[in-house]
Structure 1
Amino acid sequence: MRIVYIHQYYCNPGMAGGIRSYEQARRLVARGHTVDVITTDITGGTRELGWRTTVDDGITVHWFRVPYNNNMSFARRIRAFAEFMVLAAVKAARLKADLVFATSTPLTVAVPGVIAAKLRRVPFVFEVRDLWPEVPIEMGALRNPVLRKVAGGLADFAYRNATEVIALSQGMADGVVARRPGTPTTVIPNAADLDLFAVDPERVRAFRAQHDWLGDRPLLVYTGALGVVNGVEYLVRAMHTASRVDPDLRFLIVGHGKQWEPTKALAAELGLLHKVVHMWEKVPKSELPVILGAATMSSSTVRPIPGLWNNSANKFFDALAASRPIAINHGGWQADLLRETGAGLVLDPADTEKAGAELAVHLRDEVWLRQARDAAHRLAVEQFSRDLLFEKFEAVLTRAKPEVQHAHR
């Protein structure tokens, strides 16, 4: 099958960011499919016009530089979304395809996907990574009634034209069906890349030894975006409490985003920066395994907004892949999973002092940590392995285009 795969923020393991699209696309190629990814180069520097083509493990990737970062104004981000929407529509329409697949966010990627699919008279499959416009409306980020109506219309357009919708959590799937009843929907969450996170223990020991502030001390890590929705300052406040109980605890933040400076300022104000709290700029995905291998526990946070509980954050699955307990501060399906399996902690979203006290205890509890690591590993292998979930993904695409002979395995 010839698949056109539209993802505005595609990353490979040499880049900082989620690699779901890369991992799915390379497996499609291994099964005999042809995959063309259409994406953007969001790096800064001199703006170069025109498409650049690379090949990632058999995936043909078409890049067009459209600068984007979380520090941009709302208007500038909308411009970036619109620019890619137009560019991708033209590019996708020129590529041969048996099926067009588009993954959000932003929601605008549905437009080039639908246009290309209709021009080529092939099925369109849409993937929902965040429920728009419901979540930004609940957050208060989308208040203009005209923009709300436009965003809602765009979601309706995407779902109406999709042969099938893939949602990254059951809550997202419920949101799709609530907006457009009867939409065929399949839940395929993010995944645990077990091979990527299988790290030589010697590398982990060397990593800890080369950082004087760490050594053999307990380490909590946060890896990922420092956006408004993430609320990473929650963990800084919790570690302020935890470090009063146990001054040897350490917290490493690895990421980027609009809240980087406010988070750093808070850590400095609380007297934690460069002592308890250490902050590193984002690193390529390929460097995360040794960091998580050195972690005692990982973490994933969101602001106390129920709509955010349906998330399927990469950092949650990276922790499972690394066999590391994970601490979260919200309800929803991940909280239920952690409570059922013992693979981590569900912290009080409103009480950072209570959260800090819990972290201080559990970061030193070797019996609990061993059991939680084992539970995390079982989840990664039995429920969330990338290979396991890829089978569901390929099945959706095959259902959408049944007349195309499935590639020989």
Structure 2
Amino acid sequence: MARILYLHQHFSTPAGATATRSHAQARALAQAGHAVTIACGQWQGAVTGLEGPFRRGARHGRIAGFEVVEWAIPCGSALGEAARISAFLRYAARATRLALRPGWDLVIASSTPLTVALPALLARRARGTPFLFEIRDPWPELPVAMGLRRPLLLRGMERLARAACRDAAAVVALTEGMAGTARGRGTPPGRLHVIGQGCDLDLFGPHATPWRPEAAGGGEMLAVYAGAHGRANGLHQLLEVAALLQAAGERRIRLLLVGEGGEKPALMAAAAARGLGNVTFLDAMPKPELARLMAGSQVGLLCLAPIPAFAEWTAPNKLMDYLAAGRPVLSNVPGEAARLLEAGGCGETHAGPAALATALRRLADQPVQREAMGLAARRLAERRHDRRLLAARFVTAVEGALGA
């Protein structure tokens, strides 16, 4: 049995409205016999499962067979840049104090944010504690693609990313594109593992009780986007899709935009100003509620801003939820996601709102094809993206890092 400190600032159980990858992986490590402690902050939409007051800025408890330490450090995509950076640095400081305590056999540092690598590197250099570095988003590549132009900050992030990739006992990347960034920074091939996003097959699927919002007409085909409403998501493109459908007199299709983010108020205002009666905005919802919504809907929407770097450097959680729910996916994201949808016969990728609007109308016209694509999506989820199988691969990577 190894004592493992798992650093993930954005940790959530499935009761939350955000990603649950670290929950599944920590639970798998605990089931394999390891003593795991997750240390996290308070991410917008996350639910850690801990209750009661914070004492000295922290609270503790046991969830799903592992320990959780939650620090009172709020953070979310709707915060401004300065506030987010402050939250990242405060978390890194508290995590460093915890990582430097004696007794840890391994530290897992799950990025983003990239600052989570600081405690792992310091523990390695001060105590010789090995660490595993998990790349969930490649930094600084994505900030640069989004237009960040701060040379000193970017140089600092590059040095930190290079040190993490070079010194880690193992590196886990979510896509081949992310793995390429790790290799470029010195990760030896033998230490590199590509373990993609997983599907929660117990939560999403045909067993979920269908639910439709009041705004949805009984005969409408519901197309759901469930995720962050930030600049990187490019959701103004979905408003344009809705406008094209409305202008064509299409009344069979409703777009549901579920989630939170800094761009949401502007998106809602734009939809109202344009009189888009076929768009409904919903608050972010816990995963069990989202599973019911997907069971009552017909299509999943995957949308990102048209930035070429996103093609191979992103691994959207929402795509896995759609597949697990057995829903066909319409996407504007090229690269790895497009190849997955094409190979699985469960979705289509189209560049531009006009093509997406046409594809939605075609699916509304062809319920048999829609059903077949949905069944293919569920089969793909079961065959290749079962979160339990991927978590087992993560356990193997962790135990390899311990052995190294």
Q: TM-score, normalised by structure 1?
A: 0.91
1:286 aligns with: 288
Q: CA deviation at 1:118?
A: 4.1
The worse-fitting range, judged by mean Cα deviation, of 88-97 and 166-175 is 88-97
Q: CA deviation at 1:322?
A: 0.7
Which of residues 161, 165, 171 is equivalent to 1:159?
165
Tell me, in whole angstroms, the C-alpha distance in 1 between the residues paired with 2:19 and 2:193: 21
Q: CA distance change for structure 1 residues 385 and 10 in 2, over 3 Å: closer, same or farther?
A: same
Q: Distance in 2 between matches of 1:240 and 1:47?
A: 47
Mapped pair 1:237 → 2:240: yes
Deviations 1:195-218 (A, max 9, x none): 1113546x21xx23x625332320
1:5 aligns with 2:6: yes
Aligned runs of 1:4-403 on 2, under 5 Å? 4-42=5-43, 49-94=56-101, 96-140=103-147, 142-180=148-186, 182=188, 184-200=191-207, 203-204=209-210, 207-208=211-212, 211=214, 213-243=216-246, 244-272=248-276, 275-310=277-312, 311-348=314-351, 351-402=352-403
Q: Distance in 2 between matches of 1:354 and 1:377?
A: 25
Per the TM alignment, residue 120 of structure 1 is displaced from its structure 2 partner at its CA by: 4.3
Structure 1 residues 256 and 48: alpha-carbon distance in aligned structure 2, compared to 1, 3 A threshold? farther
Could you tell me which residue of structure 1 aligns to residue 50 of structure 2? none
Residue identity (%): 34
Unaligned 5+ segments in structure 1 are 404-409
SS at match of 1:363: helix
Quick one: distance in 1 between partners of 2:317 and 2:102? 30
**CA–CA distance in structure 1, aligned partners of residues 329 and 44 of structure 2:** 31
Work out the number of aligned pairs and report it: 393
How far apart are 1:177 and its partner, in Å?
A: 1.0
Q: CA RMSD in A?
A: 2.0
Question: CA offsets per residue over residues 57-98 of structure 1, 9 Å max, x none?
Answer: 112100111122223222221111111111111022226322
Runs (4+) off by over 3 Å:
46-49, 117-120, 198-201
Distance, in Å, in 1 between the alignment partners of 2:274 and 2:159 is 45
| CA contact 1:3–1:100 (8 Å) conserved in 2 | yes
C-alpha distance in structure 1 between counterparts of 2:308 and 2:168, whole Å: 27
Deviations 1:291-317 (A, max 9, x none): 111120111111111111221110000
Judging changes above 3 Å, is the alpha-carbon distance between structure 1 residues 47 and 122 closer, same or farther for their aligned structure 2 residues? closer
Contact between 1:241 and 1:357, CA under 8 Å: does it hold in 2? Answer: no
Tell whether the 8 Å contact from 2:39 to 2:68 is kept in structure 1 after alignment.
yes
Is contact 1:42-1:65 (8 Å) kept?
Answer: no
Alpha-carbon distance between aligned partners in 2 of 1:48 and 1:248, rounded to the nearest angstrom: 53
Q: Cα deviation per residue 1:229-268 (whole Å; 9 max; x = unaligned)?
A: 0011211211221243421211111100011011112211
- Does structure 1 retain, via aligned residues, the 8 Å contact 2:105–2:130? yes
Change beyond 3 A, Cα 1:41–1:354: closer
- Please say if residues 44 and 77 of structure 2, whose CA atoms lie closer than 8 Å, have aligned partners that are also in contact: no
Deviation at 1:363, TM superposition (A): 3.1
User: Residue 240 of structure 1 contacts residue 356 of structure 1 at CA under 8 Å; is this kept in 2?
Assistant: no
- The residue type equivalent to 2:374 in the other structure is R
Structure 1 CA distance for aligned equivalents of residues 300 and 257 of structure 2: 10
Instruction: Choose 180-189 or 3-12, whichever is displaced more.
Output: 180-189
1:296 and 1:363 in contact (8 A); partners too: no
Tell me if the contact between 2:5 and 2:39 (Cα under 8 Å) persists in the aligned partners: yes
Structure 2 Cα separation of the partners of residues 13 and 190 of structure 1: 15
